[in-house]
Amino acid sequence: MALNLPQAPLPGDFQWGFATASYQIEGAVDEDGRGKSIWDTFCHLEPTRTKGANGDIACDHYHRFDEDFDLLSKYGAKAYRLSLSWSRIIPLGGRNDPINEKGIAFYNQLIDALLARGITPWVTLYHWDLPQRLHDRYGGWLNIEESQLDFERYAKVCYERFGDRVKHWITLNEPWIVSIFGYSTGGNAPGRSSTNPQSTEGNSATEPWIVGKALILSHTRAVRLYNKEFRVSQKGQVGISLNGDYYEPWNAQDERDHQAAERRMEFHIGWFANPICLAEDYPECMREQLGDRLPKFTEAEFALLREADVDFYGMNYYTSQFARHCDAPAMEDDYKGNVEEFQENNRGLSVGEPSGVHWLRSTPDLFRKHLTRVYRKYKKPIYITENGCPCPGEDKMEVEEAVNDTYRVRYFQDHINAVALSRSEDGSDIRGYFAWSLLDNLEWSDGYGVRFGVTFTDYNTLTRTPKKSALLLRKIFESHMRTREETSNGNLPEGSK
């Protein structure tokens, strides 16, 4: 398959690889002392809220990690982003609860196996799977004071046990998704909502904002702890992974839609990035709309934020949208900033090429704008900790057809080029890229239909088959790095700017 020439270079030390999450791939939910998480419970609700799917076996990575890491080597990955299961390490979750040594041993095996292959581990402490016992005990993330103390202790255990080898930590994955999908729409665990008819508990007008503050302070305690007790000896880095689309105005001639686009991004990204990256209050537009429903930070909490400076901004990006203002006042359960979202603008132009899932269209040019906006606003080095797509129709394909994933190859090429252009032409400090995902896996409430992996997983036999994108990603990055060498030697490749 021919590759398009890159338009801009990437440095030779640019980190790249693949990403996964524990509950989506591990399986072995009842083995070796692991406790239940809220996703174990959510996936077994009746009637089903995950299309009948669960993570009981998933990709069986727990027993097949060597096979999966051999794939990483075959694909040429320099780095691998994995998450730890809190309830595999501390089955009951709490700061006074016992540690599961078999869980520690499993993750030691993973880390050592990666390092033996020359692959750098990037470890996420929390990728959505809160121990069920903490949810039962005090409401989990709804209890701001208790949850942050339990998360701090969990982080400490991980730093103590793995920090001699792990030098790149991500505290939380996508706190926006945790807060909104878990406690507003109810589409994700624990499924609390007052607007979702399938939910029996929750308050969509208040709970997401409480959970958001709990996550911010939990992250902050974990970073401060590392800075005070581990940074000097372990010499690692700590950041967070935030999701967020980029928004363009639905009507480019309407100033109200320009304001709506910016407001939507503030509700999506500024909610967490302002306190975490700038040690500032939430965006003013959030305070204006939400009033007292948005919990305030105390002076002591602002001091805590200032003590927890992050080393990098982890960006999870998949697509962009158009935003249109609303004339009517915001509903009490609105979480978008009182805007409407569209995939076509007022002239009927699509934001990008459709993929294999309704909400994702390929938008590399807007990805570049997004990268540049985030870097200029928050001034933190950026690592793209997730980026990827399913191909059109891929969920219905057999393996022989699915491995020829030309849409995904094109998506990767275009989005990696956007990274290189944001670096070279816009001055953004972007240092790494993780493709989502290494394997087709459990896509949360979407079950096992949508396929984001660069490796085809047969869910009956658990056979792994590399797709073309996996084998070509290395060539895409190498071509950008050759461009760097040619540029430094004064020889621009034909077709380059």
- Arithmetic mean of pLDDT, 268-287: 98
DSSP 68-86: HHHHHHHHT-SEEEEE--H
Render pLDDT for 434-486 as a digit per residue (tens, 0 to 9): 999 999 999 999 999 999 999 999 999 999 999 999 999 999 999 998 876 66
Q: Which residue has the higher pLDDT, 22 or 487?
A: 22
Q: Is the pLDDT of residue 240 over 60?
A: yes
Scanning the structure block, which residue is given the tokens 């996703």?
Answer: 39
Residue 495 has pLDDT above 50, yes or no: no
Helix (H) or strand (E) holding 340: strand 339-342
Centre a 10 Å sphere on the Cβ of residue 257 and count the other Cβ atoms it contains: 23
Give the model's pLDDT for residue 7.
82
pLDDT tens-digit profile of 115-166? 999 999 999 999 999 999 999 999 999 999 999 999 999 999 999 999 999 9
65: Cα within 13 Å, side-chain hemisphere: 21
Q: Per-residue pLDDT for 492 more than 50?
A: no
DSSP codes joined into one string, 374-408? HHHHH---EEEEE---PPTTGGG--HHHHT--HHH
pLDDT in the model for residue 71: 98
Label residue 494 by pLDDT band (50, 70, 90): very low
pLDDT digits (tens, 9 = 90+) for 259-268: 999 999 999 9
Is a pLDDT exceeding 90 seen at residue 76?
Answer: yes
- Segments of 218-311 assigned E as strands: 237-243, 246-249
Phi/psi at 420 (5° precision): -65, -40
Of 262, 266, 386, 394, which is the active-site residue?
Answer: 386
386 a catalytic residue: yes
- What is the per-residue pLDDT across 159-213, written as a single tens digit (0 to 9) for each? 999 999 999 999 999 999 999 999 999 999 999 999 999 999 999 999 999 999 9
pLDDT greater than 50 at residue 496 = no
What is the model's pLDDT at position 161? 99
Checking if the pLDDT of 324 tops 60, the result is yes
348-383: per-residue pLDDT in tens? 999 999 999 999 999 999 999 999 999 999 999 999
> What pTM was computed for the model?
0.97
Q: Rounded mean pLDDT of the chain? A: 96
Sign of the CA dihedral with 220 first, then 222, 223, and 225 last: positive
User: Is residue 344's pLDDT more than 90?
Assistant: yes
Beta strands 312-316; 464-466: pairing state: unpaired
Classified as helix, coil or strand, 430 is: strand
pLDDT of residue 488: 57
Contacts of 478 (CB under 8 A, 6+ apart): none
Fold of 15-482: TIM Barrel (3.20.20)
- Region 383-411: mean pLDDT is 98
Percentage of the chain modeled with pLDDT above 90 = 95
Look at the chain and count its residues. Answer: 497
Mean pLDDT of 296-318: 98
**255 has catalytic annotation:** no
- Asked if 143 and 189 count as a contact pair (C-beta separation under 8 A), the reply is no
Among the options 26, 152, 174, 248, which is catalytic? 174
* Cα–Cα nearest to 430, from 90, 13, 45, 2: 13
pLDDT of res. 483: 76
The DSSP code for 49 is S
